[in-house]
Structure 1
Amino acid sequence: MIEETAAALWAARRSARPLEGFPGEVPGDLETAYAIQDEVRRLSGRKLAGWKVAMIQPQLRQQLGEIRLAGPLFEDTLWTAQGDEPVEVAVFEGGEAALEAEFVVRLGRDLTAAEAPFTPESLADAVASLHGGAEIAASPIAAIVSLGSAAMIADLAFNGGAVVGPAIPDWKERRLDELVSRTSVDARVVGEGDAARVAGGPLAALAFLADFVTRRGGALRAGETILTGATTGIHAIVPGSRGRVEFPGYGAFEVSVGAATPA
């Protein structure tokens, strides 16, 4: 099941071909979901640039035994916002996609199992910089969110890329609710929030990820980029959409959404 499902998921992403549903049985546990994710990642051969962290849907947390999920970020879909030029991103036509304002960690040093247990307090000095940014959530599966968190985990955690935006140099001196974010799609404000919307804040997300990666025999590496979780909600986008993500007091950027093409 794992190999066949992963092959179908990767084939859909590689060919930019939409899927009407999950290819096979939706995983009922995290072990299976992550095993599929690992195989999709292996098949892709893409270079890891970091990780995303997100919240598991509340109704599934007891069943899955966790409140957060993780997935890989790849070098070829990691963009840096520069000046006033919109960042050009791509999503799957006929699939599901969203724009999510997030706070983004750039890691300053390696994190290995030798440092466990990880806590937000112990990881503050591991952050080289904190930025405003965005996840470009994307899957070739139509309505993947409705299939649940395990389906999203399997399909590369519903990730289509990440944008790194303005640096937040004074983040250690700010309360979480002072780090404000705003998302607009097609010139309409669709969500407002702050870093407190991420349970425990960005460092709690980093602590989860460090534990997740090291328990599986890996490590987080200096220079990696980490999305820490949505702050304004999950906002639908399609090819042709135009998004704007703002971090008042620090900066903003725009994204121009196109259609993914076969790899």
Structure 2
Amino acid sequence: MFRPDAAIAALLEARRSRTRLTALPEGARPGSVADSYAVQDGVTQALGPVGAWKIGAKSPADNPLSAPIQQGDVIDSGASLPRDRFNIVIIEAEVAFRFGRDLPASGAPYDDAAILAAIESAHPAIEIVDSRFADIENLDPLSKLADFQLNGGLVVGVALRDWQGLDLKGITASVTIDGKTVIEKTGGNPAGDPRWLALWAANNLIARGHTIRAGQVVTTGSYVGMLPAPQGGEIVATLSGVGSVSVKIS
């Protein structure tokens, strides 16, 4: 029988002690997406308010997955962060959407127009990938999902309010470190147009008991894959038409 409490306790202790896990305890390894979400919910209850949601899909036909990002891990562009805040530092360049009003449970799913009307702005974002596990290459997908889908933080750039007409599927994304371009890629988000992930997120999260709150951000997957970040240096991600976002991790 799956024991979510043991998984929750192990992940919370790994966060507290900064000791990286080889695996979750026997009997506490999720066997389904629902199990992983139960662990996420328990860890979230202990850590405090959610400021953002990480949503991703491997293709436009894939079933998306979601993970919370704590309010304290949603960071304004231009910040300098200590590297020892994280176990690992991998960066992703993404488009995020901020909700301007609550979407409470209403007894029926919201239609696309209502969800889009509730989105206040689009933002360039850098997701910082981190893990409470020692070996993410060989970690099973459901344990990754339980561990907030390997999220360590989200750096959010300046709001773009007139975003609805953008070709978000065809965005060119580039990342520079100390002014040197390390990658440039067009149309790299595997989900295609990421706005459908924001639409999916609203109703899916509400169905799971997570009301969308004004000010919360939904981020929607990387246009550049996963890039290991070097020690120090200013990281800048630029997404065409959306803007630039920066962070220094040293």
TM-score (norm 2): 0.84
The two structures, once aligned, show a CA RMSD in angstroms of 3.0
Provide the rounded CA distance (Å) in 2 between the counterparts of 1:116 and 1:186.
49
Q: Which residue of 2 aligns with 1:199?
A: 191
Which deviates the most, 72-81 or 182-191? 182-191
Whether 2:82 is the aligned partner of 1:74: answer: no
Deviations 1:118-171 (A, max 9, x none): 454542211101111111111121232531331111112211111111333432
Shift of 1:115: 7.4
Provide the rounded CA distance (Å) in 2 between the counterparts of 1:249 and 1:215.
33
Provide the rounded CA distance (Å) in 1 between the counterparts of 2:55 and 2:242.
23
Whether 2:219 is the aligned partner of 1:223: answer: no
Q: Which residue of 2 aligns with 1:50?
A: 52
Which deviates the most, 32-41 or 15-24? 15-24
Shift of 1:52: 1.2
1:6-17 pair list within 5 angstroms:
6-17=8-19
Q: How many residue pairs are counted as aligned between the two chains?
A: 247
Contact 2:121/2:162 (<8 A) preserved: no
Unaligned residue ranges in structure 2 (runs of 5+): none
Provide the rounded CA distance (Å) in 1 between the counterparts of 2:116 and 2:67.
22
Shift of 1:87: 2.0
Cα distance 1:251–1:140, how it changes in 2: closer, same or farther (>3 A)? Answer: same
Partner-residue secondary structure (3-state), 2:106: helix
1:163-174 pair list within 5 angstroms:
163-174=155-166
**2:33 aligns with one of 25, 30, 33:** 30
Unaligned residue ranges in structure 1 (runs of 5+): 59-65, 259-263
Contact 1:56/1:69 (<8 A) preserved: no
Contact 1:33/1:150 (<8 A) preserved: yes
Deviations 1:42-93 (A, max 9, x none): 222x2221211123699xxxxxxx6211111212111111xxxx42235668
Shift of 1:176: 2.1
Contact 2:56/2:191 (<8 A) preserved: no
Which deviates the most, 191-200 or 206-215? 191-200
1:244-263 pair list within 5 angstroms:
244-248=236-240, 251-258=243-250
Partner-residue secondary structure (3-state), 1:197: coil
The letter of the residue matching 1:29 is: S
TM-score (norm 1): 0.80
1:68-147 pair list within 5 angstroms:
68-81=64-77, 86-90=78-82, 95-114=87-106, 116-118=108-110, 120-147=112-139
Which deviates the most, 116-125 or 6-15? 116-125
Deviations 1:80-113 (A, max 9, x none): 11xxxx4223566894432111111110222233
Contact 2:98/2:216 (<8 A) preserved: yes
Shift of 1:3: 1.0
Cα distance 1:35–1:13, how it changes in 2: closer, same or farther (>3 A)? Answer: same
The letter of the residue matching 1:231 is: Y
Cα distance 1:205–1:130, how it changes in 2: closer, same or farther (>3 A)? Answer: same
Partner-residue secondary structure (3-state), 2:245: strand
Cα distance 1:250–1:43, how it changes in 2: closer, same or farther (>3 A)? Answer: closer
Partner-residue secondary structure (3-state), 1:232: coil
Contact 2:166/2:241 (<8 A) preserved: no
Q: Report percent identity of matched pairs.
A: 29
Provide the rounded CA distance (Å) in 2 between the counterparts of 1:94 and 1:57.
29
Partner-residue secondary structure (3-state), 1:88: strand
Cα distance 1:100–1:75, how it changes in 2: closer, same or farther (>3 A)? Answer: same
